[in-house]
Structure 1
Amino acid sequence: MKKQRSLVLIKPDGTQRQLNGKIIHRFEQAGLKIIAMKFLFATREMVIAHYPSEDEWFTVVGNRTLDDYSKKHIDPKIVFNSDNAIEIGKAIKEWLVDYVTSGPTLALIVKAYDAIAVVRKIVGATNPSVANPGTIRGDFSHDNIELANEQLRPLYNIVHASGNVDEAEHEIKVWFKSEEIMEYERIDEKFMFKTKK
C-alpha cells in the first residue's frame, strides 16, 4: 500500500477564529504527517484553479443544495432564480472564490497511508449541520445550507479536504511549489510501519 497526500485548507472562518492549532493537533494526533504548511492570502486565480469548473462538479454541488431544499420544502428559484443543479453549482463556486479570498488561509499537505479517508473522517460531513460531534465541522461550525444560500454565500465549514487522490494532486499543485514540500521520516514511522526483510 502506498502513502497518499491530501491537501487541507483551514479557510478564513477557521483562521479568523484562531482554530489553527486545534485543527492541526487533530491531524497529528491521528498519525498524519504534515509535509508542507503555509499561511497566505489566496488570490482569485488560485481559488478558481482550486475548485473544478466541470459540469460534473457543479452538478454535485448544486444537487447538495437541491437535496437540502427538497427536504425542507424550499423553492430554489427564490434564492437562485433556477432549479438547475449546474447553475446553482456555478453560483456557489463564485461565492467560494469570494469567500476564500476574503481572509487568511492556512494550507497544509498531510501524508499517510489512506490519508484521504482519514482526513475526511476527521473533518466530517461537508454540511456542518449533519457533521458528527467529534469531527472538526461538527465541533466548530454551526452553519447550514439554507442559511448560507439565504445570505448568498458558501457554507462556513472551517476546512477543505481533498476528496480523492487525483483531486489532491491537482490541488497541491495549485497551493504549493515542489520545493515547499518536505519529505522526511518521523520517529514513530520507524516503529509503526517497519517492514520485514
Structure 2
Amino acid sequence: MKDYALIIMKPDALERELVDTIIQRFIQDSFKIEMVGYKCVTEDLILNHYQEVIEKLGDWFKALVIKDFVGKGMIPVILSQEGNDAIANARALTGATDPAAAAHGTIRGDLGNDSMEAANRENRSCYNLIHCSDSSESYQNELKLWFSQDIAKVYS
C-alpha cells in the first residue's frame, strides 16, 4: 500500500541551494517523489499554513511569519512510501524543529546551521530548511493549501 507525506522546502533551503540534496535524502530513504510544486508565498497562504501556531503563540508569531515568508519562494513536495508510516518516517528523517537539537543523520541535524535560540534572539523564524506535515489531518489541510484541488484529490 502506498502512503503519502508532504514536505515543503523553506526559503533558506532554496537560498542555500539544498533542494536537490534534501530530495535525494528522501529518495535514499525509500521515498518516491510524486509531485513537486512552487509557490511564491502570499500573506493569505502563510497565515493559513501557520493558523494553529498563530492561534497558540499569538500576534508576534503572525508578524514574524509574514515578515519572514511573504514574497519568498517555497517548494512543496508530495512524497510516497510503501506501508502506512510515510508521515512518521518523513518526520524522523527531517529531524527536530530546532536544527541545533536535531540528531546527526537527520536532514536538519546534518544540513541545519541555525538554532531556535539564535532565531528568538534575532526576532526571526528559525532557518530549519523544511516543513513536514505532522499528521494525516495536517497533511490533508496542507495539501489543499499548497496544491490545486485536482492534485489534492489525487493524493488524498
Shared fold by TM > 0.5? yes
Unaligned runs of 5+ in 1: 59-85, 185-197
Mapped to 2, the partners of 1:176 and 1:22 lie a distance apart of 23
What is the CA–CA distance in structure 2 between the aligned matches of 1:96 and 1:115, rounded to whole Å? 27
Runs (4+) of structure 1 moved beyond 3 Å? Answer: 178-184
Give unpaired runs (5+ residues) of structure 2.
none
**Counterpart contact for 1:4–1:115, Cα < 8 Å:** yes
- What's the TM-score, normalizing by structure 1? 0.70
SS at match of 2:97: coil
Alpha-carbon offset, residue 144 of structure 1: 1.4
Please report the TM-score for the alignment, with normalisation by the length of structure 2.
0.87
Q: Does 1:22 find its partner at 2:21?
A: yes
Identify which of 114, 130, 134 aligns with 1:143. Answer: 114
Q: Does 1:92 align with 2:91?
A: no
Paired letter, 1:150: R
Percent of residue pairs identical: 32
Bigger Rg over Cα: 1
Map 1:42-191 to 2 at 5 A: 42-53=41-52, 58=56, 86-87=57-58, 90-112=59-81, 113=83, 114-180=85-151
CA distance in 2 between partners of 1:154 and 1:131 (Å)? 16
Q: Distance in 2 between matches of 1:36 and 1:179?
A: 12
RMSD: 2.3
SS in 2 for 1:129: helix
Residue 156 of structure 1, CA deviation: 0.6
- Tell me the amino acid that sits aligned with residue 29 of structure 1: Q
